[in-house]
Amino acid sequence: MSLVVVGSIALDTVITPKGRRDDAVGGSATFFSLSAERLSRVNMVGVVGKDFPLTAIREFEARNIDLRGLEVREGKTFRWGGIYRKSMKERETIFTELNVFESFSPVLPPEYRQCDFLFLANIHPALQLQVLDQMEGKPLVGLDTMNLWIETARDDLIKAIRRSHIIIINDEEIIQLTEEPYLVDAVRKVRELGPHTVIVKKGKYGAELFHYEHHGVYPICPENRLEDPTGAGDSFAGGFMGYLASRGARECCYEDYHEAMIYGTVMASFLVESFSTDKLASLTDPEIRERLKMFKHLLKSKTS
């Protein structure tokens, strides 16, 4: 089943207690796609400048990623810089340079408009709405966002949430968005806007799934090492949506959502082991299978 993602494609400067990377390939659509393409073909919508490394574009092309929705424009690629302190829980944005993003207006190739699954990765909510407006079918819509848009583009963000079925958001953001201090109240408020599924990411405490009347709590997958958490949420979303798309049906059942949470968690656990896309790009299928097995075993031992 076809999966479309719109989001940022970036050159990131990241500093963590484990080291530093300058102008490394990143962005919400990048991490999402490299994670989802393991399970389902991904159609990527975004923009880069002429300075974006050709090797990275070749890397996408060599994978299960369709680039007809990728615009390469005169100018510089979107750049973002972040620093993580000791525990890596808190992240501080050091700069955001919009560059080609400033005048970006996504135009979907006609084939993408009939997609079955659409993910609105972290990007300005006005652009998320533009993509929704171009849909000709009735895709299952997932959405991610960040504190910046809750603060600066709240009205557009609420409009986009009203048109989504699944929202993937972190615990601080959902409380900021709803102004409800308790998670269950915050989730209820978001669901009143429209989404039937809310996934709350809680950093090293894992994630919670609220799907209709079901509720599931998922720990993180104990990874070998934590080097750079940038993109963990996007690669979680990629594993999650990639799994749903691989099931084929728009109306997935709770067991599919449960399995999708597992895939998302496992893909995010690989992402954090290295800077940028290093680990995601070099990951083998046996490594994924092995970790899925280990994580499922862990979940079973927690419930029995």
**Site for ligand AMP, rule CB under 6 A:** 8, 10, 12, 26-28, 80, 96, 122-123, 148, 230-234
Query: Smallest gap, in angstroms, from Cβ of residue 28 to ligand AMP?
Result: 5
Query: Smallest gap, in angstroms, from Cβ of residue 260 to ligand AMP?
Result: 17
Neighbour tally for 173: CB within 10 Å: 19
Burial-class residue 79 by CB neighbours within 10 Å (0-12, 13-18, 19+): buried
Nearer to ligand AMP among residue 204 and residue 214 (C-beta): 204
Phi, psi of 153 (to 5 degrees): -140, 45
Provide the terminal-to-terminal Cα distance of the chain, rounded to the nearest Å: 35
Phi, psi of 165 (to 5 degrees): -100, -30
Query: Smallest gap, in angstroms, from Cβ of residue 236 to ligand AMP?
Result: 8
Query: Smallest gap, in angstroms, from Cβ of residue 231 to ligand AMP?
Result: 5
Query: Smallest gap, in angstroms, from Cβ of residue 55 to ligand AMP?
Result: 18
Measured between alpha carbons, how far is residue 230 from residues 89, 100, 127, 258 in Å?
11, 21, 22, 24
Nearer to ligand AMP among residue 30 and residue 178 (C-beta): 30
Nearer to ligand AMP among residue 148 and residue 298 (C-beta): 148
Close Cβ partners of 102 (under 8 Å, ≥ 6 residues apart): none
Query: Smallest gap, in angstroms, from Cβ of residue 170 to ligand AMP?
Result: 8
Query: Smallest gap, in angstroms, from Cβ of residue 56 to ligand AMP?
Result: 13
3-class secondary structure, 81: strand
CA 144/CA 209 separation, integer angstroms? 14
- Assess contact for 268 and 199: CB atoms under 8 A: no
Query: Smallest gap, in angstroms, from Cβ of residue 34 to ligand AMP?
Result: 12
Query: What is the dihedral sign for C-alpha 45, 157, 134, 163?
Result: positive
Nearer to ligand AMP among residue 153 and residue 299 (C-beta): 153
Nearer to ligand AMP among residue 116 and residue 228 (C-beta): 228
CA 168/CA 263 separation, integer angstroms? 14
Nearer to ligand AMP among residue 2 and residue 128 (C-beta): 128
Nearer to ligand AMP among residue 164 and residue 230 (C-beta): 230
DSSP conformation letters of 237-254: HHHHHHHHHHH--SS--H
Nearer to ligand AMP among residue 16 and residue 246 (C-beta): 16
Q: In sequence order, which ranges of the chain are alpha helices (DSSP H)? A: 28-36, 54-61, 125-133, 147-152, 154-162, 171-178, 183-193, 232-247, 254-271, 278-282, 285-303
